[in-house]
Amino acid sequence: MAYQFLLYTHILSAVASIGPFFVLLALIKKMRVAEADAQQAYIHVFSSSVRLVKHAGHVLVASGVLLILNGPWSWKTSWVVMTIIVMFSSIFFLARAFSPTLKGFNEPGANKQALVDKLHRSVWIYIFLLMLMLWFMTMKPNLW
C-alpha cells in the first residue's frame, strides 16, 4: 500500500511539474500583444507557475528516490541513470531559463518581443526535457 501511495504521489507531482507549462504557452500568446499593466500580470502568473513547478519537482524527486529505494530497480539501471541525467539538466535549465528572462521585462528599453520569444522557446525546451524524463520513467528502456 505504501509503494502505491508513493507511486501515486510521484505521478501527481509529475503532472504538476509538466501541466503548468502547457498553460503558459497560451499565456505567452497573450503576452505578445499585452499592454504594460496586463503584461506585468502575465509575468506574475508566469513566475508563480515556475515556482509551483519547482515545488512539485521537489516532491517528484523525493518520491522518486523513495520509489527506487523501495522498488525492484537499482540506481545503476539505465533508465534510472538517464532520468537522473535529464533531471539535472532540467534543473539547471529551469534555474537559468525563466527568472532572468522574466526580470528582463522590467529593464528600461527591453525588447519585449525578443523576451517573449525567448520564453516561448524555453517553455518548449523544458517541456521536451520533462517529456523525455517521463518517457524514461514509463517505458523503462534497457539501454545497457
% pLDDT > 90, the chain: 89
- Please give the pLDDT value at position 24: 94
pLDDT value at residue 95 = 83
For the cut 90, the answer to whether the pLDDT of residue 94 exceeds it is: no
Residue type at 56 in one-letter notation: A
Average pLDDT taken over every residue of the chain = 94
Q: Are 49 and 3 in contact (CB under 8 A)?
A: no
Give tens-digit pLDDT for 43-87: 999 999 999 999 999 999 999 999 999 999 999 999 999 999 999
- How many residues in total does the chain contain? 144
Please determine, for residue 36, whether its predicted confidence score (pLDDT) is greater than 90.
no
Across residues 22-32, what is the average pLDDT? 93
CA 86-83-100 angle, 5° bins = 30
